[in-house]
Amino acid sequence: MPKKVTAATASKSHADKVRKRPSAKAPADPKGWRRADDDQSMIQELGQRMRAVREAKGLSLAHLSALSGVPGATLSRIENSKMSPTYSVLARIMLALEVDWIDVVGPKKLAPGERLVSFTEAGGGMPNVVRGEQCVVLHSHDAAHSVPLLVDVHSRNLADTGGLVGHRGEEFCYVLSGTLALHIEGHEPRIMKAGASALFDSSIPHAYLAGSATGAKILIVGTRPHGSHRTDGANQVET
């Protein structure tokens, strides 16, 4: 005589099947993203240098937090290599410490008696992000008086780059490809095509924006400033 199936037994049978069914696992992606060792080394170096500068200036984490507006817990995590700061956070910390970004991400100083010689192969350099744009620092050394970098400019809004920012020194830019819109405070935006260049006092707040939807690739060579100031419409902070 066939076994009678009731609603209760059917429910139990379905529950047993659910329990026995192996849990689905997403296949491991052998090409999945992993943080490169070099990236982790850069984060560690950044944290060490930030702590060294802060301590050399006699600032506590609480004092630096008050000056920069960055929470003390965030500062601690950066110094202990537990997080990589965004550009806006790093910019606020550098303004408070009165240093330039190259001072905390660039290579160490020359050894006594050593003279600066630097070569970079095609496609080489140190990848970085400056004001929200991808760039490659071609040569970077604390002993150098200038910093050359290649920048891919895609932002078309001043707010996306942090507004107009100035720093002591001079800056040269050369448009390699595409169309650039160079904004310099007190001047009309300058639309620059491939082959065009500009040299200006970089203490004047400025910003690089894309002049077209395809963006621009530019070469920037700036003298190494110490401290910076910025304007974002109404307020201005100078160091």
At 129 the pLDDT is: 81
Domain 126-237 CATH class label: mainly beta
Of 198, 186, 188, the residue nearest 231 (C-alpha): 186
pLDDT-derived band at 183 (thresholds 50, 70, 90) equals: very high
Strands (DSSP E) found in 79-205: 126-130, 133-137, 146-153, 164-167, 170-184, 190-193, 197-201
At 50 the pLDDT is: 86
Of 221, 219, 158, 157, the residue nearest 194 (C-alpha): 219
pLDDT tens-digit series, residues 58-108: 999 999 999 999 999 999 998 888 888 887 788 888 888 888 766 666 556
At 61 the pLDDT is: 94
Domain 38-97 CATH class label: mainly alpha
Domain ranges across the chain: 38-97, 126-237
Question: Is the pLDDT confidence value at 32 over 50?
Answer: no
Question: Is the pLDDT confidence value at 196 over 70?
Answer: yes
Mean pLDDT of 215-225: 88
CA distance 103 to 225: 9
Question: Is the pLDDT confidence value at 7 over 70?
Answer: no
